């Protein structure tokens, strides 16, 4: 297993649109393992392949505290959305920043699992919000895109300052 580097805002590679996953093979399974390890180490509850510079439609997630709820979403699609849920979000690619983002409260989604089998489910709560956040990544979008330009400027300055002090 390997820890992968997580790209950080405003890295332009985070803007890449992910292509569908077509090969459900050992290489994909290894990548999923590495992504879980990277996400747990960060620590975080969700990670999209875009964030580790692999631009295919793959998301890993675990919303539990004891790492018992591993979920994999491949080639996900949202079939319908309902209601609104504005909550505070954070992102491993925008470390230390949290802000409110408007999301649908309930979604119906379908996706393939690690074996390529299609799954379909209605999701709500944190799971629904988290999947919408991660699917944005696959589309080259970040949660800070929902904020004002002024806020984004402040965030870029803050992250830049932190990166400089990390390497100093």
Residue ranges binding Ni ion (CB under 5 A): 91
Closest to Ni ion by CB, 7 vs 21, is: 7
Cα radius of gyration rounded to whole Å, the chain: 16
Cα(85)–Cα(101) distance, rounded to whole angstroms?
A: 8
With contact defined as beta carbons under 8 Å apart, do 55 and 70 qualify?
no
Question: Shortest distance, CB of residue 147 to Ni ion, whole angstroms?
Answer: 14
Question: Shortest distance, CB of residue 117 to Ni ion, whole angstroms?
Answer: 26
Based on the residue annotation, tell me whether 134 is a catalytic residue of this protein: yes
Q: Which residues pair with 58 in a beta bridge?
A: 74
Cα(61)–Cα(47) distance, rounded to whole angstroms?
A: 6
Catalytic residue among 27, 88, 89, 134: 134
Question: Shortest distance, CB of residue 68 to Ni ion, whole angstroms?
Answer: 22
* Token pair listed for 145: 């895109």
* Residues involved in catalysis: 134
């Amino acid at each position: 297993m390997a820890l992968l580097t997580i790209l950080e805002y405003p890295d332009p590679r985070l803007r890449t649109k992910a292509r569908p996953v077509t090969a459900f093979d050992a290489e994909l399974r290894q990548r999923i393992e590495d992504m879980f390890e990277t996400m747990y180490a960060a620590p975080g509850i969700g990670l999209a392949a875009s964030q580790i510079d692999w631009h295919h439609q793959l998301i890993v997630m675990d919303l539990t505290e004891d790492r018992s709820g591993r979920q994999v979403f491949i080639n996900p699609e949202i079939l319908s959305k309902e209601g609104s849920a504005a909550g505070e979000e954070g992102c491993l690619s925008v470390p230390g920043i949290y802000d409110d983002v408007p999301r649908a409260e309930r979604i119906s989604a379908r996706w393939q699992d690690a074996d390529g089998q299609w799954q379909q489910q209605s999701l709500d709560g944190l799971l629904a919000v988290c999947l919408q956040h991660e699917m944005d990544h696959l589309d080259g979008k970040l949660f800070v895109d929902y904020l004002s330009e002024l806020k984004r400027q402040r965030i870029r300055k803050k992250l830049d300052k932190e990166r400089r002090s990390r390497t100093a």
